[in-house]
Amino acid sequence: MQHKKIVVMAFLFFLTLAVSQKPWYQGNLKGINDLAFELNIKGIKDDVWQKRVMSYVKLMLLEQDIQILDSLIPKMVLDINIIDSRVDEVSSFLVQLCIYGYSISEEEYYKSLANSKITKNFMTTKLFSYEVVGQTDSEKLYKDIEKNINSSLNSFLNQWYNDNPKKQF
C-alpha cells in the first residue's frame, strides 16, 4: 500500500512538471526596442557612484542597440536599497530591476472592440522583474552591488534576446 502511494505521488509530480506553465515573463519583452530608464538609490548619498551606475547601465543597453529615450513607457527602473552599517560587520542591499509597460484588462479590451474605439483605461504593469537581496561587509558593498546589477541586467538581456531572437543578428 505504501509503495503504491509513492508511485502515485511520483506520477503526479512528473505530470505537474510536464504541464506546468511557462515563466510569467516569457514573451513580455517582445517588440521592445527602446526604453526609458530611471535609477533610484536609497540609503546612501554618493553622487559619483550613482553617475557611474547610471553610465554603466546606459552603456550596457546601448551595446545591445537598446536606445534610452525620454518616453514614459516602456520603462526600466533600477531600484537599489542599501543599509550600510559601518558599526556592524554586515551591510544589506536590495537590487531590483523592473520593466514597466502599458496593459489593459481583458474586459476593457473586449468592450473597446465592440465600441470600435481605443480604450483610455490603460494600466501600468510589470513586464519583467528581477530581484537580488544580499549581505556583505561595508568595504565590499559597492563591488557586490555592482556584481548584482550586472547579473540583473544580464538576466534581462537574456530574456530580451529570447523574446526578440532576430536582434542577435
Q: Model confidence over 82-107: pLDDT tens digits?
A: 988 777 778 889 999 998 887 766 67
Chain-centre distance of CA 141, in angstroms?
22
Helices (H), 39-164: 47-63, 106-115, 141-163
Global pTM reads 0.72
Residues in CB range of 144: below 8 A, 6 or more apart: 93, 134, 136
pLDDT band for position 120 (50/70/90)? low
Distance CA 121, CA 108 (A): 7
* pLDDT of 153 over the 60 cut: yes
